[in-house]
Chains A and B, each alone.
Chain A
């Protein structure tokens, strides 16, 4: 039955059927296979229960907060700060791109939002500064991967909800790996700037200029403080921090920057509702498949198979990581995460892998798939906003994929990168 379901799902998926329909069709096929019509209503029940989870509500909140950041003019203020901090380096706008992704990631949990918001501003600016358009687009797509690693993160909310791992703990665990990823992309940019013969800008680091930029960007920097600060202090849950972030960005947009309009607000709410629908229908449909897989004891069978030839935690982590990476390349990321997590997480637990470490590694694998051919969603977005032919971009993306993989391997090999901060903060 499992193979039949997988076959139905893959066939429908590759032929362009909406993913939630492909998953539901596979689930319905599974229930038909069981042969008991009285169980059909379980498909509806599981679909509903899969979405009926309080922690998942943080997803639309962070999407809305990120969208409103752009309309409220807060993203522009972050860019001013980034220019003051690192814009004076050789190849400065490349660093600005990466640092902007780090700061933007503090509010937005999605790489897609990062690449579309920053790409439209930074790709033309980088080209004007002497970068090739395909490099600028590649770096924008690559650095957008920081978005789902530095909290908040839609992927972590999903992972935490499915495994019962503390979402606040996962958020905290993602901070250092996100910075490692940022450092890796900045190193790549430094090497590129030297090889491409960029000359030093002549400008110098200026404390007064940074101070002015810092004051100017305070309205934007408060948002991540509300999100992470509230969770770390134990004052609010991740879901509540998302709602507070929305309220803050709306107030900041109307009262502080005065750039948010009622039209932009209503449009953002509509866009968020549609995107949330697209995500949640997949989550609900995947819950139907998840129930059938558990019914067929697939997680237990797969665990026995993997642990039969590998008990070392590092080896198990590498195997699961490689499988996730390859599947992520060919499947939509949210679908891949919600299908693989219930099967893989029990194996990680039995192998003695720290749940935060495994969560971050899963998230990072799924995130890197956002820039790998043939399905990398961020590459498609950057290609559209940066007006770079898709074929050129897929050819030039490999150094950025390789950089992300190096960072991933470092995070796999050194668990302390992930586990230290949650331990210090008592998660």
Chain B
């Protein structure tokens, strides 16, 4: 029963990973494409559209926040595990639980405050694209929220298997 639940959770985590990697990849392609378009427009058509820089920046921020959930599942966020690995088993368990609690609290804080902040600035518009500032800022609650869901699923699923087949330290 517990194993079945864990497998289902792992499947969900992989699903989120695939979604967040592809979504972030698309944003990254937009980012590269828009910067290249800016160069071509400047030298090819003697035009310097001011919206390219803004769109490129916002696309990258969305890519960063969306890819966070995939990096979380794959254990690719930078962290130092040397000390935790060397603690006695009992102390390591306590520290590990506290650490997970902090991760949950920080992701939840950023999701809620991010949504609050995005909602607060809905009426403001960006300089070049003239869109609501909430559109780029919404990447924070969306990305942090996705990471929060992924984090909770990882608590059930356990760590993602590494490419070399060895187990990976769970976040």
Contacts and interface: CB of A to CB of B under 8 A. Distances in A.
A422 B80 CA distance: 37
Interface residues of B, number: 60
Max chain B C-beta neighbours (<10 A), residue from A21, A53, A240: A21
Contact of A44 (B64, B81, B110): B110
Interface residues of A, number: 56
A287 to B, nearest CB: 13
A15 B110 CA distance: 21
Contacts of A15: 83-84, 95-96, 98-99
B106 A273 contact: no
Contacts of B78: 18-20, 278, 282, 332, 334-335
B61 A243 contact: no
Given A269-B28, A277-B65, A281-B64, A57 B57 contact: yes
Nearest to B61: A51
A269 B113 contact: no
Contact of B39 (A17, A243, A282, A335): A243
**SS class, residues of chain B in contact with chain A:** helix
A21 B60 CA distance: 20
Contacts of B35: 57, 61, 239-240, 243
Contacts of B71: 274-275, 277-278
A236 interface: yes
A82 interface: no
Contact of B63 (A14, A235, A273): A273
Nearest to B81: A16
Contact of A54 (B56, B70, B136): B56
Contacts, number: 172
A246 interface: yes
Contacts of B11: none
A41 interface: yes
Interface stretch (B1-9, B114-122, B152-160): B114-122
Given A24-B106, A41-B120, A44-B117, 12 more contacts: A13-B79, A13-B80, A44-B113, A44-B140, A243-B32, A270-B70, A276-B67, A277-B66, A280-B60, A281-B64, A281-B77, A282-B78
Interface of A: 12-21, 24-25, 28, 40-41, 43-45, 47-48, 51-54, 56-57, 60-61, 64, 235-236, 239-240, 243-244, 246-247, 266, 269-270, 272-278, 280-282, 284, 332, 334-335, 374-375
Interface of B: 21-22, 24-25, 27-29, 31-32, 35-36, 38-39, 43, 53, 56-58, 60-61, 63-68, 70-72, 74, 76-84, 95-96, 98-99, 102-103, 105-107, 109-110, 113-114, 116-117, 120, 136-137, 140, 169, 171
